[in-house]
Structure formats: C-alpha cells, structure tokens
Amino acid sequence: MSAHAKATPIGGPIFGRPILVLVGLFGIAALVMAYRFFVGLGPVSNMSDGFAWGIWEPVNVVVFTGIGAGALGVGLLTYILNKGEYHGLVRPAVLLGAICYTLGGSSILVALGRYWNAIMLPVVPFWNLASPLLEVAVCVMAYIFVLWIEVLPSILDGAAASRWPFWAKIGRTWGPRLQKVMPYFVAAAVVLPVMHQSSLGGLMLLPETKVHPLWHTAMLPTLFLISCLSMGYGAVVVLVTLLRLAWNAEADRRLFAQMAKINAGIILVYLVLRVADVAFTGKLALVRLDFFGLMFLGELALFLAAAIQFLRPSVRENRGRLFGAALLAIAAGAAYRIDSYLSVYRPAPGWRYFPSLGEIVVTVGMGAIGVALFVVLSKLFPVVIVQEGSGRGAKPAQAARAG
C-alpha cells in the first residue's frame, strides 16, 4: 500500500438494491431466531442429545472467527513484525474481524439452550470456573470489544470531516486521544485471539469418546491457531480483491505476493504437523476410503493445493489466480474446523444429523448482514484506500455529508 495513501469513505447511496436484499435475508433469519427464542431449539434445529453440535457452532462461530482472524494476521505483520507497508490493510481487516466475531458471538447466544444465563457472563463472582467454555466466551467477548475499539479511528476520522460542528468536534477531540491509548488495544488484539483460537481447538479435546480419532489429538489447539492464520490471510486477499473490483480499492500486488509466501509457509507447517501427528500416534490405518477417511484426505488436499498455488510465481503475479488460491486456503481451514466439530461417531443407533432449514436460514442470514454492514460502514467512513485518480472515493463534500 502507498505510504501516503489514506482511506476515504466510498460514498454513494447507502440502501441500494443489493443491501436491501442482504437485509431482507437477515430479516428472514431474524424471524427464525425469534421463533427459536420462544419455542426452543428443538422445533428450529436438528440438534439432539446425540448431536449437540449443529452447524451454528462450527460454521457461524468457528469458521466466521477463522475468517475474522485476518485482523490478527495483518496486525502481526504490521505491528509485531514492523512491516508498516501493510498498514493500508489494517482498517479493512479489522472491520472484517469485528463483524465476523460479532456474528460469531451472536450465534453462540442463538445456540445456547439457556441463553438467558449469558447475561451473567460479565459478572465475575458468578463465573463457573469448572466450565471449559468460560475462557473461550470471555476471550471472544473481550476481543469483540477490542475490535470495535480498533474500528473507532475510522468512525472518528469520518466524524472529524463532518459538516456538522457537533460531530466534527467529537472526531477532532477524541480521535487524537484514542490514538494515544491504541497501542494497549493493539496488544490485547494479539493476545486475546491467540488464546481463544487455540481454546476452540482445545475444547474438542474433552469429548474424546465422540470425536473421531483422526481429529482428536493433543495438537488440536496448535492446529486451530495455525489454520486460523491461514484462513485470515486468505480472507484479507479475497476481501481486498473484491473491494478492488467493486470500488477500485488499492490492492498492492507485491504485498499480496509476499503474503502468499507467508501463507504457504504457514500451511506447510500445518501439513507437517497434521500428517506427523496421525503417523506417530498410530492412526494411519484409519485413513481409509470411507466417509471419515475421505473427509480427512479432502482437507489435506485443499491445504496442499492452496500451498502449491501460493508457491507458484505465476499465481502470485496474477490477481485472479491468487484470488482462487486464497479461496482454497479459506475452504481448507473451514473444512478442518467443521470436521473437527462434526466428525463424531453416532453415540447410539438411530442418531442422525443434517442441518434443518432453520439452521441454514440463520447461517445465511448472519453472513448476509455481515456483508451489508461492511458495505454500509465503508461507504460512510474512511475504511478503504481507493486508488488515486480512480474517481471512486467520496469527494470531500460527500465525505462531509456521510459524516
């Protein structure tokens, strides 16, 4: 990204037809969620005593937060490794992370049987210290708060450019103040996701009798952390590429090529650990051409294909091919996470699980409102860097009205 380039509000109409369609999809999902809160999980989902995990946990929570890990990945490059050249990717990645994690946290409430008890989570004396979910819940909630704090500079910059004196004063007053304390939030934004991403894997260490041996391993926390970084970097490439197509956002091919090399290294580390773990724990005999064996091999094939693509110069130099490779990285991480949560043995004859229409509608609706929220905030506030001379960013007057 250009060192001197600054993000600008995209401007334009807020509630166009695509946004209305996305909001409409979420509206249908909201009706399903409201019905679920009144009548319980049974009439809405196909979860049961035999399959306590439905798609809401592995998709809405575990996959969404994996995609949102792009904020962690870009933060590590920009602030920890001192690669300031990636700074232009921070705001889009952080906004993506904030939205994905908010959707994931909201989905947890939808899936909880006794969701009303969640109101006690911030009350420390009421913490159930024997609950393995406590650390995950606290870290996710804290990280959501931190991510939205990291989004605030975009909002305050937009307010500072407002033509309304009240909002302009707030932006000019609180923007510099927030910048002084931002390093503390950046540090928390590194520690918290590392903790809870590994814990999402560690959580599945507990149901040892249910999780298939090909996925049940002491390496679960490490593999979940590594896979989230791979998914996050892939998500940033996909996001910025789409922003370039939609709004002519600045997308430095050289930076993406460097990120592709980094992602290839991350994936190769994952593959070595994953295969070595299966081999040295005597589980190779379980890799057969049955349902679970094909799931395992399919995951490895996705990861390997993404790594090979990232290592090829012809792919790194071509935006379309790099976009495809990034999608492969996201799909690989998503497959591993979904399989880890759903690759369970049937605990008794007769148990079956396939997501209900209600579960699918809620998942689609959550994704739809996430896309709508990103688009609206990018149009109102300076999140995206638009290529100079493109004429796609908001002009000063437009930015002022957006504020």
DSSP letters, 126-140, are G--TT-THHHHHHHH
Per the model's pLDDT, the better-predicted residue between 4 and 321 turns out to be 321
Judged against a pLDDT cut of 60, whether residue 315 lies above it is answered with yes
Q: Which residues contact 334 (CB under 8 A, 6 or more apart)?
A: 59, 63, 66, 231
306 with 234: CB under 8 angstroms?
A: yes
What is the secondary structure of 152-215 as a DSSP string? HHHHHHHHHT-SSHHHHHHHHHHHHHHHHHHHHHHHHHHHHHHHHHHHHHHHTTS-TTTB-TTT
Share of the chain above pLDDT 90, in %: 56
> By C-alpha distance, which of 131, 132, 129, 140 is closest to 107?
140
Mean pLDDT confidence for 222-248: 93
Distance CA 330, CA 230 (A): 7
What pLDDT does residue 96 have?
Answer: 95
- Tell me what pLDDT residue 133 has: 79
Residues 6+ apart with CB under 8 A from 91: 7, 151, 153, 154, 382, 383, 384
Confidence of residue 126 (pLDDT cuts 50, 70, 90): confident
Task: Answer for the pair 309, 328: CB distance below 8 angstroms, yes or no.
Answer: yes
Eight-state DSSP code of residue 369: H
- pLDDT, one tens digit per residue, over 291-304 is 889 999 999 999 99
Q: How far apart are CA 294 and CA 292, in angstroms?
A: 5
344-402 pLDDT tens trace: 665 566 778 889 999 999 999 999 999 999 999 999 999 999 876 555 554 433 443 43
The mean pLDDT value for 26-44 works out to 92
Query: Rounded CA gap, 72 and 198, in Å?
Result: 13
